[in-house]
A and B are shown apart, each in its own frame.
Chain A
């Protein structure tokens, strides 16, 4: 493509034809404020915050949407531009609640930052806040439409990235607001509760359901034995809550900080990730050898599970019956662990630290009580844990690294990579290869299933048996893959789906801000964790071997069936 030359604030810059003024300004080192613009989304051009002067243009133009042209002269810092931007943001502020101090997004709010950047001290317009009810109908997300500035970023994410379409702008003019159809509560619509809208939202109009208070209470209750499990993805993201750069691994410091908070045991979801591989790998081999329903679809991601229950209920027999690692952990903590250490299971309180808002819904599912109690009592996102550390005055970056408690804290590199797209597949392949071929796998890295590519495919040779696998992340990609499978294409045996782009490291409960660039850095951290682990195959985890010997018997055995497997519920398609 040819280049065009234009002038921005007197500096000449050359960019490919078809670029926007915003892209050209970036190249020229000129910052233009934006709000509805998002680096991972298409152009919307609705907020007008990025207006600039374009010579010979009658009106100001939105830099994010306006294409460059040869010889164009752009000015981004004139009295007219500064005044227009101020008016635009003041108009938004005149309708936006002024409760920043108590808002979950305080200090991480793009509107707040913008008001600071533009030097807004007074709002010249009379206040006319929207007074719309908050939607607290789901255990995962809280929607506060009064804070919505109708930028449509969540709409793009929900429709285009996730293929769900639970939210859309309704009504018109000053009444416009982003809502589910018929203003229905979120619990009654096709929402997967993945929480990607939280990352899209520049303000506090959608946030996680905050459950920290329940955990504080449990920690303060001497009667309770409070154990915590941390999801594979948390160690690669939690550092960001303490201000560390994306991609910092904080495994040992996280363990130390959780002990300081007062948890009685600090365990690891990675342990049950290894267990998942044993159960799901055995299920795959069983289905392959007995003519069972194929392809087998993974079941770790609760956003994905709710999505398939809504949109592809006919494919539910394909979904692995394995519970997610979080739920396996809960069931075992209140049976195996309580038994082994002589603790009354009624007093065991299980907290999970998850990258995920859908995990809150998963833990609350009525069938998740096979221990005889609710298996997982409270799910916190990494953002909520960050909040608790700050409240407790724990600067966890300054703590010495500590080890997880045994035995539910022992894990492998295979479990660590559950946190990234392709990781469950890779972990399963490492084990399936050795179980099927009885040979040692030479190269543990199945790089073809790693990374941010939308849909990844590979064929693995298990000593003559060809295993066709596919991996998708982000629900729009999952939808595309399910449509292929429905049409009988692909001839897959095993398919991994994670609801969130990049996998759990990009989950809806992860630190703000999560963009695709940040996701890449977190994925790197996940594979560093894998390489650093002494054992990198799930079936070689000694604690896993022991739990089968002492308690479970064998994979897919009767106890596993009762504690570690589940069933699904078809839901409404619209």
Chain B
């Protein structure tokens, strides 16, 4: 399992983030962003503090968090691997790259490797169709990938 699971949530930190935003209208989204930046994802213990602090039900906070694809309610790996599934990447051989990634990481989309290092995710378009097929790892984009080169890229993060 990913390391984050065992770590106790720093609720005082969450309370501080809530206090910073609570008076502004639409405080929930900025609070969720900051909590995720601090904790890596949005664990239940943290969202309970958010719900209490903002006077919202936990189910509502969870509903908002799960609506946006960039909020994570489950722990994610150290590195986010985002694969473009749009048409331009597809026609340039994205499926072979995806197959290679799944083989290399041993997980499918939405899952995290058992060592907690990588989370694999599909995204719509990275906006770099000129270098399709493309993959983004954390904030870096890798283009013109082949099944071989994507494995080499992953090795850099091992």
Residue numbers of A with Cβ under 8 A of B are 159, 164-172, 179-182, 189-190, 573-574
User: Total A-B pairs in contact (CB under 8 Å)?
Assistant: 49
Question: Would you give the 0/1 interface string for B68-81, flagging 1 where the beta carbon is closer than 8 Å to chain A?
Answer: 01000100000000
Chain A: CB-nearest residue to B61:
A181
Minimal beta-carbon separation of B53 from chain A (angstroms):
10
Partner of B62, one of A159, A172, A181, A573: A181
A574/B60 contact (C-beta < 8 A), A170-B66, A182-B44 known: no
| Complex alpha-carbon distance, A324 and B58, angstroms | 30
Partner of A182, one of B52, B62, B67, B69: B62
A573/B47 contact (C-beta < 8 A), A171-B66, A180-B59, A181-B62 known: no
| Complex alpha-carbon distance, A170 and B68, angstroms | 10
- Asked if residues A574 and B63 are in contact (CB atoms below 8 Å), the reply is no
A-B contact pairs, 18 of them (CB 8 A): A159-B60, A165-B56, A165-B57, A166-B57, A166-B59, A168-B57, A169-B63, A170-B63, A171-B66, A171-B67, A181-B57, A181-B62, A182-B62, A189-B58, A189-B59, A190-B57, A574-B51, A574-B57
Residues of B within 8 A of A170 (CB): 59, 62-63, 66-67
Partner of B59, one of A168, A171, A172, A573: A168
Partner of B52, one of A168, A171, A172, A573: A573
- Asked if residues B59 and A181 are in contact (CB atoms below 8 Å), the reply is yes
- Asked if residues B52 and A179 are in contact (CB atoms below 8 Å), the reply is no
Minimal beta-carbon separation of B32 from chain A (angstroms):
13
Minimal beta-carbon separation of A543 from chain B (angstroms):
45
Residues of A within 8 A of B51 (CB): 574
Tell me the interface secondary structure of chain B in the complex: helix
Residue numbers of B with Cβ under 8 A of A are 44, 47-48, 51-52, 56-63, 66-67, 69, 73
Chain B: CB-nearest residue to A191:
B59
Minimal beta-carbon separation of A196 from chain B (angstroms):
15
Residues of B within 8 A of A179 (CB): 59
| Complex alpha-carbon distance, A167 and B61, angstroms | 11
- Asked if residues A165 and B73 are in contact (CB atoms below 8 Å), the reply is no
- Asked if residues B73 and A182 are in contact (CB atoms below 8 Å), the reply is yes
Residues of A within 8 A of B48 (CB): 574
- Asked if residues B67 and A168 are in contact (CB atoms below 8 Å), the reply is no
Minimal beta-carbon separation of A46 from chain B (angstroms):
14
Residues of B within 8 A of A574 (CB): 48, 51-52, 57-58
| Complex alpha-carbon distance, A168 and B66, angstroms | 11
Q: Nearest 8 CB-CB pairs, A to B?
A: A165-B57, A168-B59, A181-B62, A168-B63, A181-B58, A574-B48, A170-B66, A181-B59
| Complex alpha-carbon distance, A181 and B52, angstroms | 14
Minimal beta-carbon separation of A156 from chain B (angstroms):
12
Partner of A165, one of B44, B47, B52, B60: B60
Tell me the interface secondary structure of chain A in the complex: loop
| Complex alpha-carbon distance, A168 and B73, angstroms | 15
| Complex alpha-carbon distance, A165 and B44, angstroms | 16
Residues of A within 8 A of B63 (CB): 168-170
| Complex alpha-carbon distance, A574 and B49, angstroms | 9
Residues of A within 8 A of B73 (CB): 182
Residues of A within 8 A of B59 (CB): 165-168, 170, 179-181, 189
| Complex alpha-carbon distance, A167 and B73, angstroms | 17
Minimal beta-carbon separation of B34 from chain A (angstroms):
19
Minimal beta-carbon separation of B83 from chain A (angstroms):
19
Chain A: CB-nearest residue to B69:
A172
Minimal beta-carbon separation of B18 from chain A (angstroms):
13
Q: A164-B57, A181-B61 are in contact. List 18 more A-B contacts (CB 8 A).
A: A159-B57, A165-B58, A165-B60, A166-B57, A166-B59, A168-B57, A168-B59, A168-B60, A168-B63, A170-B62, A170-B66, A170-B67, A171-B67, A172-B66, A181-B44, A181-B58, A181-B62, A189-B59
Minimal beta-carbon separation of A109 from chain B (angstroms):
25
| Complex alpha-carbon distance, A190 and B48, angstroms | 12
| Complex alpha-carbon distance, A548 and B83, angstroms | 76
| Complex alpha-carbon distance, A254 and B59, angstroms | 41
Q: Which of B61, B63, B67 has the most CB of A within 10 A?
A: B63
Q: Which of A164, A170, A171, A190 has the most CB of B within 10 A?
A: A170
| Complex alpha-carbon distance, A172 and B65, angstroms | 10
| Complex alpha-carbon distance, A114 and B22, angstroms | 44
| Complex alpha-carbon distance, A402 and B31, angstroms | 63
Residues of B within 8 A of A164 (CB): 57
Residues of A within 8 A of B61 (CB): 181
Chain B: CB-nearest residue to A171:
B66
| Complex alpha-carbon distance, A169 and B61, angstroms | 10
| Complex alpha-carbon distance, A182 and B73, angstroms | 8
| Complex alpha-carbon distance, A189 and B59, angstroms | 9
| Complex alpha-carbon distance, A216 and B56, angstroms | 44
| Complex alpha-carbon distance, A168 and B65, angstroms | 12
Minimal beta-carbon separation of B52 from chain A (angstroms):
6
Residues of A within 8 A of B58 (CB): 165, 181, 189-190, 574
Residues of B within 8 A of A159 (CB): 57, 60
Minimal beta-carbon separation of B127 from chain A (angstroms):
21
Minimal beta-carbon separation of A430 from chain B (angstroms):
39
Q: Which of B47, B59, B61 has the most CB of A within 10 A?
A: B59
Minimal beta-carbon separation of B93 from chain A (angstroms):
27
Q: Which of A164, A170, A189, A574 has the most CB of B within 10 A?
A: A574
| Complex alpha-carbon distance, A166 and B62, angstroms | 11
Residues of A within 8 A of B60 (CB): 159, 165, 168
Residues of B within 8 A of A169 (CB): 63
| Complex alpha-carbon distance, A212 and B20, angstroms | 53
| Complex alpha-carbon distance, A167 and B57, angstroms | 9
Chain A: CB-nearest residue to B51:
A574
